[in-house]
Structure formats: C-alpha cells, structure tokens
Amino acid sequence: MTERTLALTPGEPAGIGPDLALALATDPPAGARLVAVADPDLLAERARLLGWPVTITEWAPDRPRSAHGGPVLEVLPVTCPAPVRPGHPDPATAGYVLETLTTAADGCRDGRFHGLVTGPVHKGVINAAGIPFTGHTEFLAEHAGVERVVMCLAVGDLRVALATTHLPLAEVPGAIRRDELETTLRILHRDLVERFGIHDPRILVCGLNPHAGEGGHLGREEIETIGPVLEALRTEDMDLRGPLPADTVFTPHHLEGADTVLAMYHDQGLPVLKFHGFGRAVNITLGLPWIRTSVDHGTAVDLAGTGRADAGSLREAVHQALALGART
C-alpha cells in the first residue's frame, strides 16, 4: 500500500483529542503517515501525563519518519497561547483550535496532505470566546470557498447523510428549500460515485414530517418541496426513493440494496446510526475539494489525561480517509 500523508487535528486541547492522537502514534495505522497539526509542547506534556513514551518530532515532508526505536508522533507546529489543563476547557484556546484547522486545510489545498482527519472540538468553548462556530463541516466549507457541503456518517455498510446540519430544530423546515435539497443530492450522488466507487447509488430520502406528511395532513414539505426535487432528479437517472417515513426507513426491508439514507435534519438520522455503531462510525464531509473524515463522538473532557479514552473511532476515520483517497 502506498503511504499517504494525512493531517490530524486533535481538536479541543483540554479534551481527549490529544490522547487519541498519541494513542495512534503507539499503534500507527498501516498506510498512513499521520501529522498532528498542534502544539508540540502540549502533546509532549499530555504524553508525560499519560506515561506514554511517545517522541514528539517536527514534521518535514521531504524527510522520512524518524526512527527513535519507539512510538513517534510527527507534528506541524501551531502554538497554543494559553496553558491547558486536561478536563478544563478554556475559551482562551479557541483561536488556537481554529488555527490548527486552517493550517491543516491549507496543507490539503496545496497538496502537502492527502486528506484531513479531525478530532472533536468543543463548539460551546469556541462560541464562548466570541467566535461564531457551528461545527467543522460549516467551518471547512467556508474556508474552502464552497457554497455547499454534505455531512455524512458511516459505519459498516450504513451511511446517513444530512440535508441540514447543526441547526435549531425550529429552523429546519425553513432550511428545506428546493435549491438547497437539489444541491445536496447532487453532491451526495457524485461523491458516492467518485469517492466511494458506487456505480449507480440508491439513495433513500426521508420526509421531514411524521409519516412523511401523511398525504399533506401532517405537513406539506413532502408535497411542495421534497417530492418535486426527487422527481426532477430522477429524470437524470438518479436512483432516489422517497420521500419515506423516517420511522421505518431504517428497517431491513428498506435498507436492503440501499447505499445511503438522506435525513432531513441531524437528530432524524444520526441517533439510529450511532445506536448501530457508536465508537466505530466516521463523519465524512462530502463536497470539499479534499478528503475530510472525523470521529463520531465529542470531546469527553472527563476522560482527558486518564488513558481511558477509546481511539476506535479516530482509527476508523483514518482508515476511511485512506480508502476514499485510494479511489481518487
């Protein structure tokens, strides 16, 4: 397997992200050269706290990985301006978290990295610093200069994409617009073909309302917005099924032969996927000019520095980035 260089942003410095990055250094995923975009002193201090003999070394793209006779974590340095206490998030580090993301994304854009794998960030801490932030997905889309991306989580053969992402529930109906939904489905279909290698993807599309609107008696979004978009795109030979009631779309009868479910909002689709495989799922951003995958969990600040954090989802995110990259 050809080794691919992936940027890794640990995310919230007071959470488990640094622990997970160090854990992967002790057992590196085959085929990946992981470069942590982070503060090397922060990572070294966390390694000391955990009692893990990981050598922190500065990454040089034209130099092979150092052979220190033990675990090594290569780092593209970004300085954290404030002290970090595991388990105690501090808004003073918010700018640092976003700088790691920007630096890693720039490295993907200029070809230094083959993809980006992100650890969990703490949205509340970033917003408490006075920085409007709704999530990785939206931040990376804006930085890449693309108008629309699609959030998709995958575990095994189950994939769930979202028509809207991190919105208050009251704002969801207004965000289900024909142009936005059509763009989402085009991105989803294209990346299933180009990134996942699925020749003719079958996409199941949820309705917004209970029972997919019950013929208009429980809402008209299915009749006035979702249905017409699906009809129009079917004329382009897209295999789109729906709008389907969300309470039955995840049953084996519907999922058999399906490649992805498109849910209308965050908590319509993701609880099912996370119940199916929490800790093994991967968050994938479709529509970016580079590959981006992430963990399916939060910062778990109560576990930071304890050595009890499970790196399973981050490892799966690396494997998914490698698999997606192999097809491009």
Q: 150 - beta bridge partners?
A: 286
Answer yes or no: is 292 a known binding residue: yes
Answer yes or no: is 127 a known binding residue: no
Rounded to 5°, angle at Cα 61 from 55 and 62: 110
Q: Maximum distance among all alpha carbons in the chain? A: 68
Answer yes or no: is 209 a known binding residue: no
Protein fold of 149-287:
Isopropylmalate Dehydrogenase (3.40.718)
Answer yes or no: is 122 a known binding residue: no
Q: 117 - beta bridge partners?
A: 8, 293
Q: Which residue ranges make up each domain of the chain?
A: 1-146+288-327, 149-287
Q: Where are the beta strands (DSSP E) in the chain?
A: 4-9, 32-38, 55-58, 72-77, 115-118, 150-155, 158-162, 202-206, 239-244, 260-263, 282-286, 292-294
List the one residue out of 266, 325, 285 whose CA is nearest residue 143: 285
Which is the CATH superfamily of the domain at 1-146+288-327? Isopropylmalate Dehydrogenase (3.40.718.10)
Answer yes or no: is 217 a known binding residue: no
- Please tell me if the domain spanning 1-146+288-327 has the same topology as the one spanning 149-287: yes
Answer yes or no: is 211 a known binding residue: yes
Identify the residue whose tokens are 């778990």: 300
Per-residue tens of pLDDT for the chain, all 328 residues = 578 999 999 999 999 999 999 999 999 999 999 999 999 999 999 999 999 999 999 999 887 766 556 899 999 999 999 999 999 999 999 999 999 999 999 999 999 999 999 999 999 999 999 999 999 989 999 999 998 999 999 998 899 999 999 899 999 999 999 999 999 999 999 999 999 999 999 999 999 999 999 999 999 999 999 999 999 999 999 999 999 999 999 999 999 999 999 999 999 999 999 998 887 889 999 999 999 999 989 999 999 999 999 999 999 999 999 999 876 6
Answer yes or no: is 253 a known binding residue: no
Answer yes or no: is 306 a known binding residue: no
pLDDT at position 58 is 96
Identify the residue whose tokens are 């084996």: 252
